[in-house]
Structure 1
Amino acid sequence: MTQDEYLFRFDALQEIINIGGGNAATSLSKLIERKVEMEVPTLEIMDYDQIYQEIRKEDEVVKAVLMNIVGDREYGVFLFVANPVNAEKLAQMITPTEVELTVELIDSAVNEIVNIIVHSFMTAIMKIIDIKMVSSVPIMAEDMFGSIISSVYMEQEQYDQQILIIKNEYYSLGHKIEGSLYFVPRPGVLELLLQQLGL
C-alpha cells in the first residue's frame, strides 16, 4: 500500500468515525431526552508505547469498559476509559437528579453509555464495509491504566503495537462527556479494514 493509498483510506476511516459519533450523539439524546451536541471526533493510529507518553500515565487508576467484537472472525476489543471522577459525571447525565449515585449505579450507567457509543461506531462501519460485527456485553473494570491495556493486548495476541484511538467529546446542558475509545485489533484486522475501505 502506497502512502497516498494509506492516507486516502485513513481519511475514509475518519469519515466513518464522524458518522458513528453523530449516531452516538443522536442515540444519547433519545436516552436522556435532551439535546446532545458533539465535537468532531479525532482519530489516531498510535503505537503502544506512545499511549503512556501522550494519553494517560501507566499508573493512573481508571474505570474501563471492555466490549469484544466478533463476526466471521475475532476483530478485537473496544475499550472505553475514563477516570473515576469523569465516570461519575457520565452517570449523572443519564440519572435523575433525585437518585443517589452508588458505585453500582455509576458502573451500570457508564456501561449503557459505552454500549450506545460502540454500537454507533459498529453500525457506521458495517454500512460502509461489507462485514458483520457483533459485540459482547460491556464489562467494567477498575485498575491502573497500564494494567488494563497490557491485559487487553495479551488477550488479543497483539504484537504489532498498533492501537486505534477515537477521542470524543459530547455536551448536554453544560455537562461534558469526555473519554477515549480505544480499539485494540487482533493481528491483521486494522490492515484488513483499511484495505476494505480502498475497494
Structure 2
Amino acid sequence: MTIEAENVTKGKSKKSPLQPERPATELALLGLLCEGASHGYELTRHFSEDTELAQVCQLEMSLLYALLKKLEKEGLVIGHEEPVSEHKTRHVVELSEEGKQLFEKWLAQPVKRTREMRLDFLVKLYFARRRGGTEAIALVKRQYDYNLSLLNHLKEERKKLQNQESNMYTRWVLEFRMEQNEGSLRWLASCQKELAGE
C-alpha cells in the first residue's frame, strides 16, 4: 500500500499541491471579522445572492457555521456567548491576533497560479476595495508585476522548446498558460486604470 493510500485509509487524505493552503471561503470569513466581531447569521448575509462577495464566493449557512467552528478550534477566531434576551444567547466570534496576521499576510501576497485569479484574487480584491482605493491599487499592481514575471518565464521556457517536436504537448501547455497570463494582464491593467480614475 502506498503512503497516499494509507493516509486516505486512516482518514488523512494528502492535500493536493494544486490546492491553496487555505480555501478562499475561510479567508473571506477572516476578512469580514477584520472589520469587527460578528455572529453566524450576520456573516451569512455577506454571502447572499444579491451581494458583491457572492459573485465569486458562495457559502451556505451550514458550511459557514462549520468553518467558524474549525477556525475557532485553530485559534484564528475567538468565540463567546452574548445574551440576546433573558433566556437566549448567540455565539459571537472575533478575530484573534493570529487570525488577523494570517489574513493580512494572505491579502498582501499575489496569487501564485493563474487559475487562482478567478477565486482567490477576486476575494482579495473585494477586501482591498473595502479598505479604500490605495490598497486596491497596490494589490492590483503587485499581482500585475507577478503575472508579468511569470509570463516572461513562460516565454523563456517556450523558446527552449521551439524546435523540439517531441515536446509538442509541453509546448501546448506553456502556450495555454501564456494566453491565460496575457488575458489576466490585460484585465489587471484595465482594473488599474479604473482604480486610478482614468
Same fold judged by TM-score > 0.5? no
Larger gyration radius, structure 1 or structure 2: 2
TM-score normalised according to structure 1 size: 0.24
Which of structures 1 and 2 has the larger relative contact order (alpha carbons within 8 angstroms, sep 6+)? 1
Q: Between Structure 1 and Structure 2, which shows a larger proportion of strand residues?
A: 1
Q: Between Structure 1 and Structure 2, which shows a larger proportion of helix residues?
A: 2
